[in-house]
């Protein structure tokens, strides 16, 4: 169990933190974190440079964990779990929550009706085929909107539904007019948009735009197609990106720059195959682009709670390098990193963990540690020494870490024992070691001191 600093007003120090127990690491108190504002952020959105079509600072999220996410291999959400996830997403602040088609099964229909009755702030959508039978069932559930989809590429027309473009256009117009007559939102989306014939694609989007569709959606596409479509339709543009090649977040951001207005996400990115744009990953990217917009709209401190909820439900572990909430997301180990982080966290962190209710850590129980990290830890322990003494103590920790892995308790013990020896003038052992370990430690310490004297290590 790691021992850390008491919580500070800026939320930057706390060992028992939302991102879990970090053995060998410690939450550290740092200076304030002056992350750049959008106006001077080299990674952000600059209206003077980017295209006037950009919606980077006014996007909306269509959260699809309860639709696309239900297609994840491990996913099985009963009604209670769906309601719990829907409430959590609503509390986070997503604009829309998309549900599995009520035509998929009787339970799916009942779940859709139950969530519609919760009175959430987010609009509730359901995702259906471009077919009148599906549309009639969907509008009876009480949803705020219907998302209609049909494959438009030659691949899907041949190998999926077998319909030509004339049929697709006529069916789309019929469904759109019916749903609109019920006073609810309607989105029309092509599937496999990028591999669809561009003339066919623009023709059908133009037709549905003219009959008053609220949004058109395009799936697995890239910047240029969004940009072209923006010049053809006046309605909103929704984008849906799968992560098969690891580009979902990048594609989502580029789509917003090109004029898209809505991004489909799921918690942890779960979905068909490798899933889609992850909610947390998108928040990380957009936070860098326009921190004020994102912080003002979404309860970012709720992200870890939502991800834990979904991870448990689908029986997966949150990856160690997950955006924002991963075990290592705000963890620093190398001495050069630790020194800079202690002085100014924005030197190595583009995102302030405190914005998400998270904590940064420094791993100081390591051969890679630097004396600045040891100094910071000693000061947390209320042990004052000179810089020369901190450096000598660091050398002892490095020497011990060279012979075996050490935990934070070991490093703390060395710091305390070294400090006691300074005060007492004694030279008592720093740790309880076997004779073999004591000999190895002495040898390593000698090697290290000789290397430092020769300027080979610092």
Band (156; pLDDT cuts 50, 70, 90): low
Cα gap 245→225, rounded to integer Å: 18
Provide the residue count of the chain: 458
Where in the chain do CATH 3.20.20.70 domains reside? 38-313
Percent of the chain exceeding pLDDT 90 equals 55
Please provide the average confidence, as pLDDT, over all residues in the chain. 86
**Span 103-117, average pLDDT:** 97
Give the per-residue pLDDT at 362: 77
Between 213 and 457, the higher pLDDT residue = 213
pLDDT in tens, 361-400: 877 888 888 888 888 888 888 999 999 999 999 888 888 8
Q: Name the pLDDT band for 5 (thresholds 50, 70, 90).
A: very low
Confidence of residue 1 (pLDDT cuts 50, 70, 90): very low
Query: How many angstroms separate the first and last alpha carbons of the chain?
Result: 29
Closest CA to 31 of 9, 49, 56, 16: 9
Distance CA 24, CA 411 (A): 9
Arithmetic mean of pLDDT, 157-161: 69
For residues 365 and 331, the answer to whether their CB atoms sit within 8 Å is: no
DSSP 108-176: HHHHHHHHHTT--SSEEEEEEES-HHHHHHHHTTT-SEEEEEEE-SHHHIIIII---HHHHHHHHHHHH
pLDDT at 48: 46
Q: Which residues, 6+ apart, have CB-to-CB distance to 392 below 8 Å?
A: 418
Quote the pLDDT of residue 263.
98
> Which of 90-94, 229-233, 453-457 is the least confident region?
453-457
- In 3-state terms, what secondary structure has residue 29? coil
- Tell me the pLDDT tens digit for each residue of 44-82: 555 444 578 899 999 999 999 999 999 999 999 999 999
Residue 193 reports pLDDT greater than 70 = no
- Give the tens place of pLDDT for each residue, 15-46: 333 344 565 566 666 665 555 554 456 565 55
CATH number belonging to the domain at 38-313, selected among 1.20.120.80, 3.30.1490.190, 3.30.420.40, 3.20.20.70: 3.20.20.70
Of 127 and 451, the one with more pLDDT: 127
Q: Would you please indicate which residues are annotated as catalytic (active-site) residues?
A: 337
Q: Model confidence over 212-248: pLDDT tens digits? A: 999 999 887 777 889 999 999 999 999 999 999 999 9
Least confident of 84-93, 149-158, 344-353: 149-158
- d(Cα 8, Cα 199) in Å, to the nearest integer? 59
Q: Write out pLDDT tens, residues 335-363.
A: 787 778 777 788 888 899 999 998 888 77
Please state the pTM of the whole predicted model.
Answer: 0.81
Compute how many other C-beta atoms are within 10 angstroms of the C-beta atom of residue 29: 17
The percent of residues above 70 in pLDDT, for the chain, comes to 86
Cβ neighbours of residue 64 closer than 8 Å, sequence gap 6 or more: 98, 127, 240, 264, 265, 266, 271, 276
More confident residue, 26 or 295: 295
């Amino acid at each position: 169990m790691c021992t850390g600093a008491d919580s500070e007003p800026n939320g930057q120090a706390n060992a028992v933190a939302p991102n879990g127990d970090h053995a060998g690491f410690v939450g550290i108190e740092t200076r304030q974190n002056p992350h750049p504002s959008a106006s001077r952020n080299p990674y952000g959105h600059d209206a003077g440079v980017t295209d006037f079509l950009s919606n980077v600072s006014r996007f909306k999220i269509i959260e699809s964990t309860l639709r696309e996410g239900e297609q994840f291999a491990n996913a099985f959400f009963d009604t209670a779990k769906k309601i719990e996830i829907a409430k959590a997403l609503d509390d986070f602040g997503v604009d829309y929550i998309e549900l599995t088609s009520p035509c998929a099964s009787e339970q799916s229909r009942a779940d859709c009706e139950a969530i519609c009755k919760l009175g959430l702030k987010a609009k509730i959508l359901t995702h259906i085929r471009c077919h009148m039978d599906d549309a009639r069932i969907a509008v009876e559930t009480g949803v705020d909107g219907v998302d209609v989809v049909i494959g438009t590429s030659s691949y899907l027309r041949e190998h999926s539904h077998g319909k030509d473009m004339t049929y697709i256009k006529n069916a789309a117009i019929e469904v759109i007019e019916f749903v609109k007559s019920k006073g609810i939102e309607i989105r029309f989306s092509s599937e496999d948009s990028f591999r669809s014939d561009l003339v066919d694609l623009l023709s059908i989007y133009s037709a549905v735009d003219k009959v008053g569709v609220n949004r058109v959606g395009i799936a697995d596409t890239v910047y240029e197609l969004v940009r072209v479509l923006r010049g053809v339709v006046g309605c909103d543009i929704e984008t849906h990106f799968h992560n098969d090649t690891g580009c979902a977040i990048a594609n989502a951001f580029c789509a917003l720059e090109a004029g898209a207005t809505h991004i489909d996400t799921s918690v942890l990115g779960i979905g068909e195959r490798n899933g889609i744009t992850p909610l947390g990953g998108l928040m990380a990217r957009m936070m860098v682009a326009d921190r004020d917009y994102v912080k003002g709209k979404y309860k970012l401190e709720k992200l870890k709670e939502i991800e834990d909820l979904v991870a448990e439900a689908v029986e997966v572990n949150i990856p160690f390098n997950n955006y924002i909430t991963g075990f290592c997301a705000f963890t620093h180990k190398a001495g050069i990193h630790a020194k800079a982080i202690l002085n100014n966290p924005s030197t190595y962190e583009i995102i302030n963990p405190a914005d998400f209710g998270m904590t940064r850590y420094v791993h100081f129980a390591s051969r890679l540690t630097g004396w600045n990290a040891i100094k910071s830890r000693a000061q947390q322990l209320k042990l004052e020494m000179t810089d020369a003494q901190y450096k000598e103590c660091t050398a002892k920790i490095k020497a011990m870490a060279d012979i075996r892995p050490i935990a934070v308790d070991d490093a703390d013990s060395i710091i305390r024992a070294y400090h006691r020896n300074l005060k007492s003038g004694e030279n008592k052992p720093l740790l309880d070691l076997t004779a073999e370990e004591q000999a190895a430690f002495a040898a390593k310490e000698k090697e290290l001191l000789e290397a430092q004297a020769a300027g080979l290590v610092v």
